[in-house]
Amino acid sequence: MDLWGLTTLILLAGVLLLIFLSQWSQGLKRGKLPPGPTPLPFLGNILQLDLKDMTASFSQLAEKYGPIYTLYFGSQRIVVLHGYKIVKEALIDQGDAFADRGSIPIFDDVIKKKGVAFGDGESWKQVRRFSLMTLRNFGMGKRSIEERVQEEAQCLVEELRKTKCKPTDPISILACAPCNVICSILFHDRFKYNDEKFMHLLKLLNENFQLLNSRWAQLYNFLPGFRLFLPGIYKMHFKIVEELKHFILERVKEHQKVLHPTNPQDFIDCYLSKMQQEKDNPHSEFDLENLVMTGVNLFVAGTETTSSTLRYGLLFILKHPEIQAKIHEEIDRMIGHNRAPSIKDRQDMPYMDAVVHEVQRFANIAPLNLAHAVTRDIHLQQYFLPKGTTIFPLLFPILFDSKEFPNPERFDPKHFLDKNGKFKKSDYFMPFSIGKRSCLGEGLARMELFLFFTTILQNFTLKSVGDPNEIRINSKEVRITNIPPFYELCFLPR
């Protein structure tokens, strides 16, 4: 390294050290931050975490410091909430104060607080309220969201039939269905499963998911000071998001040409109508940039999460033939084979309902949740959290709480059944998180999971390729999300 390079490096290190010391001493002066391990300059507590299995590290720290503790990712302060009581106290009892999205450097750099998932303040509030209303079916033409999901469930079954009982990796087929549901909601159209444009879209979404779950993205996010040295991650994420934005912008332009504000058919129509209604309001939050980024959010948040849950679910059922037999018995008794399942059936199918809940609990798709931030200086229990502090309200300790779910490490639908076989609700069921920032697609995802699982099992018996006892169900590594392991299975028509 030449002298110039060395001087720059020393200066950079000096600046980072100053930022770190100033943040740390601020915390110490107030003296009321939650306890936590002593951080190292530049690195914070990163060396105390097992980056391959963050859940284990977070639990060990909770044993030592209790349900609320402070960590440093580089110089960034993080307050971790571990367990049902403290997460509820924060996200529900003080919901408004915990409603900001926490800093996730890779998203901050590329998405820049636009759209519904990473926006904050008034813009986020308005776009979230509008999106929730639209997803609840208000004003999207005659076809209900349930009909759109039912139609897709039938297409999914047709595709699975084409596998002709041969061992099949379900990854691609199971990704198409939830992605098509988002297409139908956003722009009132669906793609054939072999459509080239659709394949490309799915590839982008999958690459994005893999990238965000990679070790490099973890370093980018957990050591923000070092992101200058990881330009490749930024470039890759930027490129994927730009392509997704372009895909949605094309659809928006088509809609603008033929917009009938009085008869909106899909999310984009509804949004464009809203833009027209607000055209004289100089402070309107409904601009094109927010629409495009919200569309990207719905694709990214709504495709891989649901398809990974479907993949996990089939794997768990495959491993437990006795559970599959009970599901078949209930479907045959309550629905039969001559009509498509509907969401109304759920109330009469406690076993299936319990299976779907248990799949979501056990799949634990978003173990760490998404980061939140506090909107103002606040107190939580005896501690002080300064405005802007990043919060990790972890979900896995709640989903695997051994007092609520005896034998939490076992896949067992009885976790959601009472002794009479009736469905039993649990406040600890929170794979979608809770509070003001909870998953916007919860209603849709729960409808999809019930209808897709029920329709698949109405039509097929799942058969494993080898001995079901040998099936491995755990992810190799747990980073931002849990990804199901590779497996194959046969779909035998019933």
Stretch in the footprint of ligand HEM (CB under 6 A) among 79-87, 254-262, 285-293, 431-439: 431-439
Stretch in the footprint of ligand HEM (CB under 6 A) among 45-53, 206-214, 256-264, 369-377: 369-377
Whole-angstrom Cα Rg for the chain: 24
- Applying CB under 6 A, the site for ligand HEM has a residue count of 26
What's the rounded Cα separation, in Å, for the pair 302 and 291? 16
CA pseudo-torsion sign 443, 201, 371, 268: negative
Q: Mapping DSSP to helix (H, G, I), strand (E, B) and coil, where does residue 390 land?
A: strand
Interacting residue with ligand HEM among 34, 44, 225, 431 (CB under 6 A): 431
Interacting residue with ligand HEM among 75, 213, 309, 390 (CB under 6 A): 309
Residue 164 neighbours by CB under 8 Å, 6+ apart:
none
Q: What angle do CA 459, 462, 468 make, to 5 degrees?
A: 165
Interacting residue with ligand HEM among 297, 390, 458, 475 (CB under 6 A): 297
Q: Is residue 145 within the footprint of ligand HEM (CB under 6 A)?
A: no
Q: Mapping DSSP to helix (H, G, I), strand (E, B) and coil, where does residue 76 land?
A: strand
Q: Is residue 440 within the footprint of ligand HEM (CB under 6 A)?
A: yes
Instruction: At 299, list the tokens.
Output: 């694709």
Q: Is residue 374 within the footprint of ligand HEM (CB under 6 A)?
A: no
Name the residue nearer to ligand HEM (CB basis): 43 or 81.
Answer: 81
Q: Mapping DSSP to helix (H, G, I), strand (E, B) and coil, where does residue 290 land?
A: helix
Q: Write the interaction track for ligand HEM spanning residues 83-112; mark x where CB under 6 A is met and - where it is not.
A: ------------------x-----------
Q: Is residue 444 within the footprint of ligand HEM (CB under 6 A)?
A: yes
Terminal alpha carbon distance of the chain = 68
Sequential DSSP letters for 434-474: -STTS-TTHHHHHHHHHHHHHHHHHHEEEEESS-GGG---S
We find the least distance from the C-beta atom of residue 167 to ligand HEM, in angstroms, to be: 26
We find the least distance from the C-beta atom of residue 58 to ligand HEM, in angstroms, to be: 16
Instruction: At 1, list the tokens.
Output: 């390294």
Name the residue nearer to ligand HEM (CB basis): 442 or 477.
Answer: 442
Closest CA to 301 of 123, 433, 155: 433
Name the residue nearer to ligand HEM (CB basis): 117 or 233.
Answer: 117
CA 110, distance to chain mean position in Å, is 18
Q: Is residue 295 within the footprint of ligand HEM (CB under 6 A)?
A: no
We find the least distance from the C-beta atom of residue 315 to ligand HEM, in angstroms, to be: 15
- Site of interaction with ligand HEM (CB under 6 A): 101, 116-117, 128, 297-298, 301-302, 305-306, 309, 365-366, 369-370, 372, 431-433, 437-441, 444-445
